[in-house]
Amino acid sequence: MKRVFSLALSLALPLAAFAFASAAAAEARAQAGVRPRAEQPADDKSDAGAAPADGAKVSEAQKLYEEAADYAQRKFREFEQKQVPHNPALEQKTLQEQKDLALQNAARIAVRGPLRGTDLYYTGLLYALAGKGEGALDSMRRFLADDAPASADLKQRARSVAAQQAAQLGLLEEAERAVADYARNEPRAVADLYRMNLVLSSAYVKKKDYARAAPRAGDAYAAALEYARRGAAGPEQRDATLVGAGSYYANALVKAGRRPEALRVLQELRGRAVAYASARLYRQATDLLLKQGAPLDLPPDLADAAASAPPEIQAAAWIDQAPVKLSDLRGKVVLLDFWATWCVPCRQTIPKLNSLHRKYGGRGLVVLGLTDFEGNVEGRDVTRAEETAYLRRFKREKGIGYGFAVSDDKKTARGYGVVSIPTAVLLDRRGRVRFITISADEDEADLLTKMVVRLLDETP
């Protein structure tokens, strides 16, 4: 199918020089089984490096672990503050320094004699951070077998680390036992369930055992869905987690000879994107579906998907439209079109939207064009007044019958996860997002018309 692809918008803030390196440091911590507090679900209080309860003493082993765990990100923050240009060699050198420090600190704990209790636990984390899987697994085995007092939380974290390290070492039956042991105990954290199952699935993929890889990938995807449901992450992190887990699960199903199930997973992911009012996630899931050779059709309505309240329209000016809030439009079917005058595919959609406005406006369809003040018109800098006049003239010359809302900060577009234009978001009479389009493609235009009619026929 030929698609008219949309033009990319630059909506993200500029990345800091060492943003990628910071992500690499965070991944190193995750491989060691540690989740920064900012990445934990709201009701997930387990964190291997968390401070103890008030009045509790921090052990020397924990201090040594935390020193190593924070090393790389601390250095990357220093580089950012000093505006050091990103240098891959410096990045790798810093991450290697972190591994060396972790190994040194593990040795400092070990020289104190036979280890017990939490000393074993933190030594295991240090070995994991250093990339020494055998040492990490051995330490966690001994910690779990030790009868010294330890919290249920640390025992669970140890099981999670043991499962991941065993899987990476190819000890898959031991990894399976660790995952099962984790599932029998409390507390259970979705971050642990996600990572354990993903690492174990990856180990099966390496052995080309796709029949066993697919169920574990499915468990990782289920954990990602739970993570999204809890709403602890920001929209971008939520979407990245869902598309990563969903695409991995779908690929595992395809490799296992279960392509119809893979297509259902990707279709459901499109449905979840609509429920979350995220054009970014919808675009990623749709692209994954089309790469599988599936036809473009309407995403499913998911009864179990907790729909997000659509972000309110933030406008600095209105053109041929009285200022309005989405709450004022309840009882109407609302079509929000994110566009710009310089966008050729956007211009291709205008006649189609005009047709919908004329044909269905009397039945309750409201079309709003959402664009931005950019300080530039056809390559020349202009004032706000000049740009407003240009938009009015453009609207009149194109015979556009619906009104515009003009933003000066792209806040509305970011709220809907818009990363390219044209993007259209369709809301039903109850104010719920029910459909998204991400291009000027004729097939998408046909689906949009179909959904408009369906929503107009629904009882509020």
Question: How far, in Å, CA of 246 to CA of 215, rounded?
Answer: 13
For the chain, what percent of residues have pLDDT higher than 90?
80
Residue with token string 């997973």: 265
* Rg, Å, the chain Cα set: 26
For residue 306, what pLDDT is reported?
62
Window from 7-21, 23-37, 249-263 with minimum mean pLDDT: 7-21
| Domain-embedded: residue 28 | yes
| Domain-embedded: residue 247 | yes
Question: How far, in Å, CA of 215 to CA of 436, rounded?
Answer: 30
How many domains, the chain?
A: 2
Q: Are residues 145 and 57 in the same domain?
A: yes
Q: Are residues 416 and 285 in the same domain?
A: no
Q: Are residues 147 and 84 in the same domain?
A: yes
pLDDT at residue 55 greater than cutoff 90 = no
At 208-255, the pLDDT tens digits run 999 999 999 999 999 999 999 988 789 999 999 999 999 999 999 999
Q: Are residues 243 and 205 in the same domain?
A: yes
Backbone angles phi, psi at 256, to 5 degrees: -85, 5
pLDDT at residue 75 greater than cutoff 60 = yes
pLDDT at residue 32 greater than cutoff 90 = no
| Domain-embedded: residue 193 | yes
Kindly report the number of other CB atoms within 10 A of residue 48's CB atom: 24
Q: Are residues 245 and 326 in the same domain?
A: no
| Domain-embedded: residue 167 | yes
Q: Are residues 169 and 67 in the same domain?
A: yes
Q: Are residues 237 and 325 in the same domain?
A: no
Q: Are residues 69 and 193 in the same domain?
A: yes
Task: Read off the CATH number of the domain in which 427 is found.
Answer: 3.40.30.10
Q: Are residues 24 and 156 in the same domain?
A: yes
Task: Read off the CATH number of the domain in which 170 is found.
Answer: 1.25.40.10
The whole domain housing 22 covers: 11-291
| Domain-embedded: residue 164 | yes
Query: Which string of b and e fits 7-27 if b means at least 16 CB within 10 Å?
Result: eebeeeeeebbbeebbebbbe
Q: Are residues 56 and 116 in the same domain?
A: yes
Within 13 Å, how many C-alpha atoms sit on residue 82's CB side? 9
Burial class (CB in 10 A: 0-12, 13-18, 19+), 443: middle
Q: Are residues 247 and 370 in the same domain?
A: no
| Domain-embedded: residue 305 | no
Which residues share a beta bridge with 435? 426
Single residue among 276, 291, 306 that ends a domain in this structure: 291
Question: How far, in Å, CA of 384 to CA of 377, rounded?
Answer: 11
For residue 28, what pLDDT is reported?
52
Single residue among 257, 291, 325 that ends a domain in this structure: 291
Query: What is the value of pTM for the model shown?
Result: 0.84
Would you state the structure tokens that stand for residue 448, as one six-digit string? 């949009």
Q: Are residues 274 and 338 in the same domain?
A: no
| Domain-embedded: residue 5 | no
| Domain-embedded: residue 213 | yes
Burial class (CB in 10 A: 0-12, 13-18, 19+), 396: exposed
